[in-house]
Amino acid sequence: MTAFSQQWLLTETPSSRSQAAWGRRYRAWLALRSNTLAMIGLVVIVTFVVLSLAAPLLATHDPGSQDLANRLARPSAAHWFGTDELGRDLYSRILYGGRVTLGMVIAVVVLVAPLGLAIGCIAGYFGGIVDRILMRVTDVFLAFPRLILALAFVAALKPGVESAILAIALTAWPPYARLARAETMTVRNSDYIAACRLTGAPSGRIILRHVAPLCIPSLIVRITLDMSSIIITAASLGFLGMGAQPPSPEWGAMIATTKRFIFEQWWVPTIPGIAIFMASLAFNFLGDGLRDVLDPKQR
C-alpha cells in the first residue's frame, strides 16, 4: 500500500474520498509549516501540553509539599525555579499548574465553540424572527463586562475551577455566534446552498453539512486568537481568588498569592507570569498562521 507517501497526498487526481480529504489537509499543513512564527507557536503549545501531561514524571517535588525553612529560595540545583512563599517547588507547581490553566482553556473552548457555531449558523441561516431573537440574546451577553459577569457568576456558585470554566464560557460565546452568523449570511444566498435546498434536504442537514463547515475555519482562527485572552481571564479569576482554589497550582493564582514579593524575590511571581506570557503569545502566533492557511477569503 502506497498510503501517505507524498505523491499519494499531493496527486491532482485522487482516487478515493479519503485521499482527497487527506490531500487537502496535507496542503494546509505544508502552508502552515512554511510560516515560521506559526510553527514556533505550535511547538511551544505542544511542548507546554506535553510537559503538563507528563508533570508527574517530570516534577522534582510534590507541588503541595511545604518547606517553610526554605521559603522564597532563589533558583538552584535543588529547586530549578526557586520556591514560593510556603517553600513549595516552583518548577513542579508550574508543571502541575499547566494542567489546570491549559485544561481550563481547553474546557472553555470545547464548551463555547459548538454553542457559538450552532447559534450563529441557525440565526444566520433562518434569518427573520429567529435571527432577531437569537441575536438579541447574544447582544445581552455581549453587553456585560466579561470579567465582572464571570466574577458575579463564580460568586453566585462556589469559587473553583469548574465555576470559573462555566463563567468564562458564559461570557465567551457571543463573539463566536456573531462570527458564525456573519459567515452564514454570506453563504446563505449563494447558488450552492440554493442547490442544496433543491435536493429537498431539511434545513438541519443543510446547516450541519453545508453551512457549518464553511464557518469552522474562521472560527478556529478566532478561537486560537482568543485563547490568550481566555488564559488571561482564567488567570485574572485565579488572581482574584475566584478560580482554582489553593493549594491547587494555577498560574494566575500563583502570581496573585506572591505579588507582594515582586520587588525582593522577583522570580516568584515572574516565573508563572512568563508561563502565561509564552502560552498566550504562542496561541497568538498559531492563530495568525492558521488565518493565513484556513481563511477561505484569503485564497
Partner 1 sequence: MAPVMIDVDQLRVRFGDNEVVKGVSFQVPSGGSFGIVGESGSGKSTVLRAMSGLNSAWTGRIAINGQSLGARRDRAFFRTVQMVFQDPYGSLHPRQTIDRILSEPLLVHGISDIERRIEKALAEVALPSTARFRYPHQLSGGQRQRVAIARALISEPETLLLDEPTSALDVSVQAEILNLLADLRERRHLTYILVSHNLAVVTHLCPQVGVMIGGEMVEQLSADDLRSGQTMHPHTAELRALSVDLEEVP
Question: Site residues (CB under 8 A) for partner 1?
Answer: 12-17, 19-20, 24, 190-192, 194-201, 205, 209-210, 213-214, 296
- Smallest gap from Cβ 87 to partner 1, in A, equals 56
- Smallest gap from Cβ 227 to partner 1, in A, equals 25
- Smallest gap from Cβ 184 to partner 1, in A, equals 14
- Smallest gap from Cβ 286 to partner 1, in A, equals 22
Nearer CB in complex with partner 1: 25/259 = 25
Nearer CB in complex with partner 1: 207/271 = 207
Nearer CB in complex with partner 1: 136/299 = 299
Nearer CB in complex with partner 1: 6/15 = 15
- Smallest gap from Cβ 20 to partner 1, in A, equals 4
SS (H, E, C) the chain: CCCCCHHHHHCCCCCCHHHHHHHHHHHHHHHHHCCHHHHHHHHHHHHHHHHHHCHHHHCCCCCCCCCHHHCCCCCCCCCCCCECCCCCEHHHHHHHHHHHHHHHHHHHHHHHHHHHHHHHHHHHHHCHHHHHHHHHHHHHHHHCCHHHHHHHHHHHCCCCHHHHHHHHHHHHHHHHHHHHHHHHHHHHCCHHHHHHHHCCCCHHHHHHHHHHHHHHHHHHHHHHHHHHHHHHHHHHHHHCCCCCCCCCCCHHHHHHHHHHHCCCCCHHHHHHHHHHHHHHHHHHHHHHHHHHHHCHHHC
Nearer CB in complex with partner 1: 136/213 = 213
